[in-house]
Amino acid sequence: MSTPDKKEAPKQIMFAQACNMAMAKAMADDPKVILMGEDIADEQGGGVFKVTAGLSEKFGTDRVRSTPISEQAIVGAAVGAALVGYKPVAEIMLMNFITVAMDQIVNHAAKLRFMSGGQTSVPLTIRTTTGAGTGLGGQHSDMLEAWLAHVPGLKVVAASNPADAYGLLYSSIMDPNPVIFIENTPTYFSKGPAPAPDHVVPLGKASVPREGSDISLITYSRGVGACHAVAEKLAGEGISCEVIDLRTIAPFDEETVLKSVAKTKAAVVVHEAVRNFGTGAEISSRIHEELFSELKGPVGRVGSGYAPVPFSPAIEKAWMFSEDDIEREIRKLLR
């Protein structure tokens, strides 16, 4: 007697592995894609988090170049390469170190298309990692997406799962404009279903991984997992939360956000970055401007404390946004 074939579970991959796969596909598809950054070649270990491991062996050190420890040199060279037809992917080891190269990013990469009247594109991707919770201290853990989203000409992307990391990074590399691709350090080794080789996620389009009717939770990166956990808990009490994963912070998908909030009449914006002057403030303002008369109450915001990221694990945990913070804000709005 034959037994029915068992359906195989989807293959699981890690977030860091998805980023590696996306770069490999982009390099295979387009010989103009090149990588540069500190210690990214295999001889130097494939990057501090091993995200580029194996790529120099496969594509050669002409296309996967380990650089000196100089963020200004890395980004400056990448901007120049982009101007002459390459599609450079520059790795800045930690997001705080982007501040060293802000002149090249803000005054050059972001503005050259505009200053040339559209004659020059800058197809540059800057990959960088950051995130609190690992005890790396205030100079290695900041989420600075609000700084960069404020700059016209830059796109800012933050994936929450391996499949999106793959699809978004590929789209970022192929985009003719400069993109900041943020990878959250604590999620590097989180697992999720592997995407198909041709999986592409368009920039500027949010997803709605959980539908609901009572309140919209608008978030990205690590905030997505936290919002899912809170939504699952509150579902047991009959509270229905819709979770929106922005995926692209700038430009953010205003249409999807407003459609969701028009349905639920309530919203909370959640991000790991400090609450003050964060991206949540901009999204909240847009919602109020468009849907003020339809809202049950003011849009809530959840973020981390307005202080540098603490080094002490206990203080860092107290400083960081949490699932309890999200739940408290939801209950305040729906009471």
Q: Could you count the other beta carbons within 10 Å of the beta carbon of residue 87?
A: 22
Task: Name the residue type at position 333.
Answer: L
β partners of residue 274: 304
Task: Report the SS3 class of residue 181.
Answer: strand
Is the peptide bond preceding residue 193 cis, with omega within 30 degrees of 0? no
DSSP label at residue 192: E
Question: CA 328, CA 333: separation in Å to the nearest integer?
Answer: 9
The question of whether 150 is a catalytic residue gets the answer no
Give φ, ψ of 202 to 5 degrees. -65, 145
Residue 160 near residue 245, CB atoms below 8 Å: yes
Of the residues 140, 228, 242, 327, only one is catalytic, namely 140
Of the residues 38, 71, 145, 242, only one is catalytic, namely 71
β partners of residue 155: 179
Residue 117 near residue 99, CB atoms below 8 Å: no
Nearest to 135 by CA among 310, 308, 306: 310
Q: Which residue has the tokens 């981390």?
A: 304
Question: CA 220, CA 184: separation in Å to the nearest integer?
Answer: 11
Residue 110 near residue 152, CB atoms below 8 Å: yes
Residue 251 near residue 199, CB atoms below 8 Å: no
The question of whether 43 is a catalytic residue gets the answer no
Residue 296 near residue 266, CB atoms below 8 Å: yes
Query: Which tokens go with 242?
Result: 């819709």
User: What angle separates helix 162-174 from helix 15-29, to the nearest 10 degrees?
Assistant: 30
Residues with catalytic function? 71, 140
